Amino acid sequence: MTNDMNAERLKLAVDLARRGGDLALDYFRRRDALVVETKRHVTDLVSEADREVETLIRDALEKTFPEDAILGEEHGLSEGSSGFTWVLDPIDGTAPYLNGLPGWCVSIGARDGDGPVLGVIYAPILDELFVACRGQGATLNGEPIRALDGDLRAGLLGIGANDRVASDRVGRMLTELMDAGVGWMRYGSGALMLAWVAAGRLVGYAEPRMNAWDCMAGYVLILEAGGRILPFPDGPGLTLPAPVLGASAGAYDELRDICDFGSAPDW
Ligand code: 2AM
Ligand code: CA
C-alpha cells in the first residue's frame, strides 16, 4: 500500500470515528429509550446504538474502499481483495455505555499484509481522539504521546476479564500480579485502556480473551507510542477470541511472564 492510500484511509477513519462517536453520544443521552439485549451475560450487551454506529462506519468504508475487507463486532466479516482489513468496534465498552458510565469509545483499526497499520480511538464523553499510523507515531488530540518508561510498577496496570474465562485462572493472574507489587484497575473498555497505555496513563493492559475488534486500533497506538504487544492471530484466527496484552517496553516481558497467556492458547 502506498503512503498516499494510508493517508486517505487514516483521514476517513478519523472522520468516521468522530461521526460514529457523535451518533453514539446522541443515543447515550437518550439511552433510556434503547432496547437493551443481553447477549449472554450482564457484561455482554448490545443495543440499536451499537448496530447503527457500525452501519454508519461500514457504509462509508465500503463506498470509499470497496476492495477492503471489514470485520466488525456487530455485522461480522465482509471479504475483500485489497489485502487491507478494517477491524472495528462501534462501541467498545457497551456495558458501561448502557449503564450511563463514561468509559466507552469507538475503535477503528486496520491491518494489512505487514500487520497492524491504522488505529483510531475516539472517546466522545472525554472528547479524546487517539490516532496512530504505522511509522508515523501516535497522537492524542493532535499532540504526540508515548508509553511510560520504567517497569511494571511504574504505573497502573489495566486488567480485563469476562465470564468466558475460568474464574480460577483470572484469580490466579490477579494474585500473581498483586504478589509482584503491581497496582491494577479494571474499566469497561479494553480498547480505551489500550489507548491509555499508549498515552502513558497505564503501564500496560492484559485480558485473557478478547476479540480483534477490541484491540486492533489500540495495538497500533501502543506500537507507535514505543510500547510492545502480544500479536493477535491473523488469517482465520482474526475472527476468533485470543489473549490480548500490550505494555510499555520496560514492563512487557514481566507482564507476559506473569499472565502466562502463551501456555493457554485455547482460552
Ligand atoms: P464490548 O464492550 O465491545 O463488548 C472489557 O473487559 C472488554 O471485554 C471490552 O472491550 C468488551 O467489549 C469486551 N467483552 C465484553 N464481553 C466479552 C465477552 N463475552 N468476550 C470477549 N470480550 C468481551
Ligand atoms: Ca462492542
Q: Which atom of ligand 1 is nearest to the CA of 93?
A: 2
Residues with Cβ < 8 Å from 14, sequence gap 6 or more? 120, 129, 131
Distance CA 142, CA 204 (A): 22
Find residue 115's DSSP bridge partners: 112
Residue of 200, 20, 31, 32 lying closest to 121 (CA atoms): 20
pLDDT value of residue 45: 82
What the block records as the C-alpha cell of 64 is: 470509499
Residue 162 scores a pLDDT above 60: yes
| CA–centroid distance, residue 60 to ligand 2 (Å) | 19
All structural domains of the chain:
3-144 (3.30.540.10), 157-259 (3.40.190.80)
pLDDT value of residue 262: 72
Mean pLDDT (the chain) is 94
Give whole-number Cα distances, 49 to 30, 125, 161, 181, 202, in Å.
Answer: 11, 15, 24, 40, 29
Instruction: State the average pLDDT over residues 68-84.
Output: 97
Categorize the per-residue pLDDT at 8 as very low, low, confident or very high, splitting at 50, 70 and 90.
very high
Q: Is the CB of 107 under 6 A from ligand 1?
A: no
What the block records as the C-alpha cell of 196 is: 491509555
Q: Is the CB of 96 under 6 A from ligand 1?
A: no
**Minimal-distance CA residue to ligand 1 atom 3:** 92
Residue of 220, 166, 170 lying closest to 191 (CA atoms): 220
Q: Which of 75, 184, 186, 210 to mutate to test the pocket of ligand 1 (most atoms within 8 A of CB)?
A: 210
Lowest mean pLDDT among 18-32, 78-92, 148-162, 253-267: 253-267
pLDDT value of residue 5: 82
Instruction: State the average pLDDT over residues 105-133.
Output: 97
| CA–centroid distance, residue 99 to ligand 1 (Å) | 15
Per DSSP, the three-state class of 73 is coil
Categorize the per-residue pLDDT at 265 as very low, low, confident or very high, splitting at 50, 70 and 90.
very low
User: What percent of the chain is modeled with pLDDT above 90?
Assistant: 87
- Compute CA 190 distance to the chain's CA centroid, rounded to the nearest angstrom: 6
**pTM for this prediction:** 0.96
Lowest mean pLDDT among 34-38, 129-133, 224-228, 247-251: 34-38
Q: Is the CB of 190 under 6 A from ligand 1?
A: yes
CB of 97 closer than 8 Å to CB of 24: yes
**Minimal-distance CA residue to ligand 1 atom 16:** 44
Instruction: State the average pLDDT over residues 39-50.
Output: 86
Find residue 88's DSSP bridge partners: 72, 108
Q: Tell me the ligand closest to 90's alpha carbon.
A: 2
The torsion angles phi and psi of 2, rounded to 5 degrees, stand at: -80, 160
Distance CA 2, CA 141 (A): 25
Residue 230 scores a pLDDT above 80: yes
Q: Is the CB of 99 under 6 A from ligand 1?
A: no
Residue indicated by cell numbers 502466562: 260
Q: Which atom of ligand 1 is nearest to the CA of 39?
A: 19
Instruction: State the average pLDDT over residues 115-126.
Output: 97
For CA atoms 219, 220, 221, 225, the dihedral sign is: positive
Q: Is the CB of 90 under 6 A from ligand 1?
A: no
**Minimal-distance CA residue to ligand 1 atom 18:** 162
| CA–centroid distance, residue 107 to ligand 2 (Å) | 9
Residue 246 scores a pLDDT above 90: yes
| CA–centroid distance, residue 260 to ligand 2 (Å) | 26
Residue 43 scores a pLDDT above 90: no
Distance CA 184, CA 179 (A): 12
pLDDT value of residue 267: 38
Angle in degrees, 0-180, between the axes of helices 48-64 and 3-29, rounded to the nearest 10: 160
Instruction: State the average pLDDT over residues 203-228.
Output: 98
Instruction: State the average pLDDT over residues 179-193.
Output: 96
Q: Is the CB of 218 under 6 A from ligand 1?
A: no
Residue of 235, 9, 247 lying closest to 118 (CA atoms): 9
Q: Tell me the ligand closest to 214's alpha carbon.
A: 1
Q: Is the CB of 72 under 6 A from ligand 1?
A: no
Q: Is the CB of 189 under 6 A from ligand 1?
A: yes
Instruction: State the average pLDDT over residues 120-132.
Output: 98
Residue 263 scores a pLDDT above 70: no
pLDDT value of residue 41: 86
